Structure 1
Amino acid sequence: MPIDADCAFCRIVAGEDGQAREVYRDESVVAFFPDEPATLGHTMVVPAGHYPMVFDLPDEVLTHLAVVTKRLAVAIQQAVHPTGLNLIQSNGSSATQSVPHLHVHVVPRWDEDDLGDIWPPSSPVSEVATDAAWDSIRAACSREMP
């Protein structure tokens, strides 16, 4: 698996961060609390290999990451009893990715928690732009997915 010696998450995967609060580990993924959790029980899941973004992730790694993320969500539900949960996976700085190692945030949510709404109250996208994107994405799907 590829690693990056300068990556904070690779150091956690390698067991070099004694402050990391790990909740799960196997040969392919590691789950741990972030340094500054958004809510009680907020956990991040990372692949053991260094893959900066979802575009770089092999399908088999993505599959295992998804299964572990779902099981972790169930464990969090049982442990801290949230009334909701966000799964957040960001790619690139414009999407608020601050560590260039793919990671999934599993964020327990409660009514009236400090996070508030994560979506804008209305869409700034026009129907014309939506139709153009729809055509482009369908064309790209036909090339990428047989």
Structure 2
Amino acid sequence: MTDYTGHGPHPTPPQIQSHAPAGYVCPFCGLVNGDVADPNNRCELSDVIYQDDDLIVFAAADGFGPRAGHVMICPTEHYEALYHLPDRVLMRISLMVREVAFAMKRAWNPEGISTRQHNEPSGNQHVWHYHLHVFPRYANDMLYRHLRQPMDVAYRAEIAQDIKATLNPAKTFLPEN
């Protein structure tokens, strides 16, 4: 049996409905398209680290704790949640997560890396476009005990430049069959 997107041998899940409110303007689609003019879009073009036909990688608008700053990875096409991703895009995201982690290690030498991803309101999703967070970690940073705080655009641009300088996106492409 193939999954409900027709992209793999997965059982068909129950119907997954959209949680985006009526008239939702997706901030990540705006960033992908180079248009962050919507007043509710907190993304900036200077946040972008990397973009190709499948993925966009960018500095997050919010940070957590004293060592705030992390990176997000999204598909360029609008998929609301993990359930909707085609296998090829999910594989590209996984490969990019690893490369972003290596780039963070080269740029900042953190003691560890954490990732997290949320789906649906009860899963703590609040932007209705799939995105995966990649965090640099340090001893006793207590990342998950801090509230989200907006980060200055100039600081996010520094994060983007640090990671862009050490990222090797060529390692994220799947071999052609």
Fold shared per TM-score above 0.5: yes
1:53 aligned partner: 81
Q: Percent identity?
A: 32
Q: Which residue of 2 aligns with 1:14?
A: 33
Which of 14, 26, 31 is residue 57 of structure 2 equivalent to?
31
State the shift of 1:58 in Å: 0.5
List alignment gaps of at least 5 residues for structure 1. Answer: 119-146
TM-score scaled by structure 2?
A: 0.60
The answer to whether the 8 Å contact 1:41/1:76 transfers is: no
Indicate conservation of the 8 Å contact 2:62/2:69, yes or no.
no
SS in 1 for 2:94: helix
Structure having the higher Rg: 1
- TM (norm. structure 1) is 0.71
**What is the distance in 2 between the residues matched to 1:73 and 1:104?**
12
Residues 23, 109 of structure 1: CA spacing in aligned structure 2 closer, same or farther, 3 A cutoff? same
Q: Could you tell me which amino acid in structure 2 is paired with residue 30 of structure 1?
A: I
Quote the Cα distance in structure 1 between the aligned partners of 2:81 and 2:109.
Answer: 30
Aligned to 2:119: 91
Show CA shifts across 1:91-139 (max 9, x none): 1111111101000100111112141569xxxxxxxxxxxxxxxxxxxxx
Give the direction of change, closer, same or farther, for the CA distance of 1:117–1:85 in structure 2 (3 Å limit): farther
| Matching residue of 1:110 | 138
Q: Using CA pairs under 8 Å that are at least 6 residues apart, name the structure with larger relative contact order, 1 or 2.
A: 2
